[in-house]
Chains A and B, each alone.
Chain A
């Protein structure tokens, strides 16, 4: 199964709050898990990525938490800002393949 399931579909957070987006997968052959950020009218851009040999990766206000046994990973945005309002996609790549599978996307709105 090559699916990545992402939730929630949409999320509204107050400025300064924590935004949390979750993804789950079935295929244990996935070996690379990036998150992409997309603003309206633009293409997605890489935000942060993790490999399954670490449980957490932090870059500034953005953190990926990875739970290999549960086959789940999540994006946390600390101190969320209106400029973070965008659509976020999780993704996963099968080891040895060249096919990045994307989640359905989460539209995040940060209210000022």
Chain B
């Protein structure tokens, strides 16, 4: 099993550009989520999904879109990148929702100039 795979690992964008961060898991987990990690602020939830076709907002959803067309994939779209979105992004999945173990990917470091 590869676990949770995120691509790309590094990305530099210009303000106003759009892009998609990819996340795939091969553990047949129903729950998937996206977090951003910023120094001194811990991890903050952006969006999450409890199954294919179901998504909901987390703590900091503005400027991001998600969709969940399959159990395996949960892409995160930045519609018009801003410098405030410079961060490390983590995708995570869980078999039993948040009362079970969250498995994290290795992160995608995004810089917006």
Contact B98 A43 (CB under 8 A): no
Please determine whether A98 and B50 come into contact, CB atoms closer than 8 angstroms: yes
Closest to A97 in B: B98
Q: Which residues does chain B contribute within 8 Å of A93, judged by CB atoms?
A: 98-99
Judge whether B42 and A43 touch: CB under 8 Å.
no
Contact indicator per residue, chain B 34-45, by CB within 8 Å of chain A (1) or not (0): 010000111111
User: A98 with B40: in contact, given A46-B102, A93-B98 (CB under 8 Å)?
Assistant: no
- How far is A104 from B42 in the complex, measured between Cα atoms in Å? 4
Give the number of residues in B that approach A within 8 Å (Cβ atoms): 26
Q: Inside 8 A of A9's CB, which chain B residues have their CB?
A: 40
Given A98-B48, A99-B98, residue A41 in contact with residue B43 (CB < 8 A): no
> Please, how many angstroms separate the alpha-carbon atoms of A99 and B90 in the complex?
15
Q: Does B48 lie within 8 Å of A99, measured CB to CB?
A: yes
Find B56's partner among A32, A46, A98, A100 (CB 8 Å cutoff).
Answer: A98
**A44 and B98 form a contact (CB under 8 A):** no
Question: Which residues of chain A have a CB within 8 Å of any CB of chain B?
Answer: 2, 6, 9, 32, 34, 36, 41-46, 89, 93, 97-105
Chain B interface (Cβ within 8 Å of chain A)? 4, 31, 33, 35, 40-45, 48, 50, 56, 58-59, 90, 92, 97-99, 101-102, 104-107
Between A and B, 11 residue pairs with Cβ closer than 8 Å are A41-B106, A43-B4, A43-B90, A43-B105, A46-B101, A100-B33, A100-B45, A100-B98, A101-B59, A102-B43, A104-B41
